[in-house]
Amino acid sequence: MKLQQLRYLAAIVENDLNITAAAERLHTSQPGVSKQLKQLEDELGFPIFLRQGRTLTRVTPAGKRVIDRAQKILKEVQSIKRLADEQKGDGRGSLAIGTTHTQARYVLPQVIRRFRERYPDVELHLHQGTSEQIADMAARDRIDFAINTGSQELFTNLVLLPCYRWHRRIVVPQGHPLASEGKVTIEMLGKYPIVTYVFGFSGPSSLQQIFARHGITPQVALTARDADVIKTYVRLGMGVGIVASMAMDPREDSDLVSIDASHLFPAHSTWAGFHQGALLRSYMYDFLQLLAPHLTRRLVDRAGNAATPSDVEALFTDVELPVYR
């Protein structure tokens, strides 16, 4: 019997006996969870779950008792970890983050909610700004982590950990002609006024260049610094919006239609950076992993100890980053 098996068991129960969902929550593969459950049941010698064919349907009476004890065990394990945090003074402390609107508004809220559950006494400081402002905060040592998209060249003194990649989505009001098209093209976009971020004015991924490659000049109706402003003006019918995919909330934005545009614009990479050689407190490692599950303590330490930026990159060549599309 291993703790891992008990964790998997608890996750399966948490996810209503759906092994696939449990595996996702655990950031591992579904066959792995399936196998560990089977091993546990084999070791115990009786089934924890009833099955209909291959689907788990119910918990057996004996299984219920195992689950209760497993949860008790996991709680004790947690309690040991808490204890360790207190001991190290890790329950207290502070975490200062510099980041952009998109991350602060759409990605970090969930991360921070889970972080606060785990570390209610860590002081959190969130500083929003442009890439340049964030770089400045980092240079002045005002922040522990910089979280930004692109602009790596501004942060040469930081260790940059790739977190996830994301695409843009096209946003239109319900009933807009584009909403009923299959795959949107640059040509189709060119027919409507555009409401979007301040795309770079030069460089191969600037809005101008991308349209120019199709021989089209975009009609930019409005450029904003953040997606909320963009969505607001799309709602007012000022034009077709182009926003980060994370900025679309299925519930809040149910009055809008958003369309995959991953084939039109290149993907963006969001990364988290910290000063090389900085001593990370354990809650900082945990924060990073909440932000991007592949950022294990191991990996972060290796990156922090890497000699050159290209050594850091090498660590991530085999890692598949999450993609928001």
Burial of residue 177 (number of CB atoms within 10 Å: 0-12, 13-18, 19+) = exposed
Residues 50 and 57 sit within 8 Å (Cβ to Cβ)? yes
Contact residue for DNA among 6, 9, 13, 37 (CB under 7 A):
37
65 binds, among DNA, its own copies, none (CB under 5 to 8 A by kind): its own copies
Residues 147 and 305 sit within 8 Å (Cβ to Cβ)? no
Query: Using the rule CB under 7 A, is 305 a contact of DNA?
Result: no
Query: Using the rule CB under 7 A, is 306 a contact of DNA?
Result: no
Query: Using the rule CB under 7 A, is 17 a contact of DNA?
Result: yes
In the bound state with its own copies, the residue whose beta carbon lies nearer, of 6 and 272, is 6
The sign one gets for the Cα dihedral 85, 86, 90, 94 is positive
In the bound state with DNA, the residue whose beta carbon lies nearer, of 7 and 281, is 7
Contact residue for DNA among 45, 54, 180, 307 (CB under 7 A):
54
As measured in angstroms, the least distance from the Cβ of 102 to DNA is 27
E strand residue ranges, the chain: 49-52, 55-59, 93-99, 122-128, 145-149, 158-166, 168-173, 193-197, 219-224, 240-244, 256-260, 268-275, 323-324
24's enclosing H/E stretch is: helix 19-25
Query: Using the rule CB under 7 A, is 34 a contact of DNA?
Result: yes
Residues 21-80 that bind its own copies (CB under 8 A): 43-46, 62, 65-66, 69-70, 72-73, 76-77, 79-80
CA distance 304 to 299: 9
Contact residue for its own copies among 52, 54, 87, 140 (CB under 8 A):
87
Residues 239-298 that bind DNA (CB under 7 A): 298
123 binds, among its own copies, DNA, none (CB under 5 to 8 A by kind): none
As measured in angstroms, the least distance from the Cβ of 89 to its own copies is 10
Number of neighbours of residue 245 by Cβ within 10 angstroms: 18
Helices 282-291 and 297-305: crossing angle in degrees, nearest 10, is 110
Question: How distant, in Å, are the alpha carbons of 67, 190, 241 from that of 220?
Answer: 58, 10, 10
Binding site for its own copies (CB under 8 A): 1-3, 43-46, 62, 65-66, 69-70, 72-73, 76-77, 79-81, 83-84, 87-88, 90, 282
Binding site for DNA (CB under 7 A): 2, 4, 17-20, 27-32, 34-39, 51-56, 298, 320
